[in-house]
Amino acid sequence: MSYELDTRLVIGLASSALFDLGEADQVFRREGEAAYRAYQLENRTQTLAPGVAFPFIKRLLSLNDLSPTDDPLVEVILLSKNDPDTGLRVMDSIKSHGLGISRAVFLQGRSPHRFIDALSISLFLSANEIDVREANAAGHAAGQVIDVLDSSFVDEDGDDELRIAFDFDGVLADDQSEAVFQASGLVGFHEHEQRNAGIPLSPGPLAPFLHKLRKIQALEEQKVMDDRSYVRKLRVAIVTARNAPAHERVITTMRNWDVVVNEAFFLGGVEKRRVLEILRPHIFFDDQQSHLTPAAAALPCVHIPFGSLNRKL
């Protein structure tokens, strides 16, 4: 009997998102593929240090504790541009860190986005901008992890909670309202959103990912009903530059999609980092670099290159 992926939350993950490959990448860029291959083989026993998406992936996989071991809720599949030989160090590091990742695809330099549909992947994460943009252009949900040298984020032990934060327009919803803002300014945008407050927006690139998270939320809600002492593991937040009166359409959209968020922040231009530093999500998704650049120094951030604002000439 085949192993079905369609009913699970499946994340496709490049090794560059999971681990710190800075030194190996420098060898590749400076000396070429042969030197890179030799470097990875020589350092195979050296476990790779966690990268930007590591805390998110580790805690996401812990949600499998909510289901039988033979029927996991979450599946993480490595989509690597290494060849199988140089990819051994990545697989060994996954094992060393105790991550429940057993499925992998090695492509020796070829683009990974071609296999996203075949593997029922709801979200692809990579540090490689070109790979992410190719996946996005092909209609897949894909994000580039933002790697900064001076990040102050520390994944604190002591609880099993997974906190995920999303921007709204261009991430969960499409960018039609953003287009109105660009064309008509803030006043025109607010007038438009008031007129359409009862009309839900169309789904954006990460809406299917949120729907899969909703299934896990529903399981936890049932656990709370069965045992009032149960503490939820998953918390989902929206952190958006919208404010009243444009907030109502966000709520209308979430209700229409039958999804639930635990927290919503309608900041109206207040720098998102100020809230995110207190919320401390294990990952934050936004479509605008202007929001991500300050936040990435404090927490793991992912750029979603979707919509007109992200089209490169």
CATH of the domain at 20: 3.40.50.1000
Q: Is the pLDDT of residue 312 over 80?
A: no
Dig out the tokens for 62 from the structure: 């812990």
pTM above 0.85, yes or no: yes
Q: Which residues are catalytic?
A: 167
Percent of the chain with pLDDT strictly greater than 90: 73
Q: Is residue 152 part of a domain?
A: no
Q: Which residue has the tokens 């996203």?
A: 116
Residues 63, 107 within the same domain: yes
Domain that holds residue 229: 162-310
How do residues 88-141 score in pLDDT, each as one tens digit?
A: 999 999 999 999 999 999 998 888 999 999 999 999 999 999 999 999 999 999
More confident site: 12 or 313: 12
Q: Does 151 fall in a domain?
A: no
**170 and 75 together in one domain:** no
Query: Do residues 182 and 291 both lie within one domain?
Result: yes
Domain count, the chain: 2
- Residue 69: the pLDDT is 83
Q: Tell me: the pLDDT tens digits for 24-77?
A: 778 878 887 788 888 888 888 899 999 999 999 999 999 999 998 889 999 999
Residue that wins the pLDDT comparison between 253 and 151: 253
The answer to whether residue 290 is domain-embedded is yes
Backbone angles phi, psi at 50, to 5 degrees: -60, 145
Domain boundary among 80, 111, 145: 145
In a domain, 2, yes or no: no
End residue of a domain, out of 114, 145, 176: 145
CATH of the domain at 279: 3.40.50
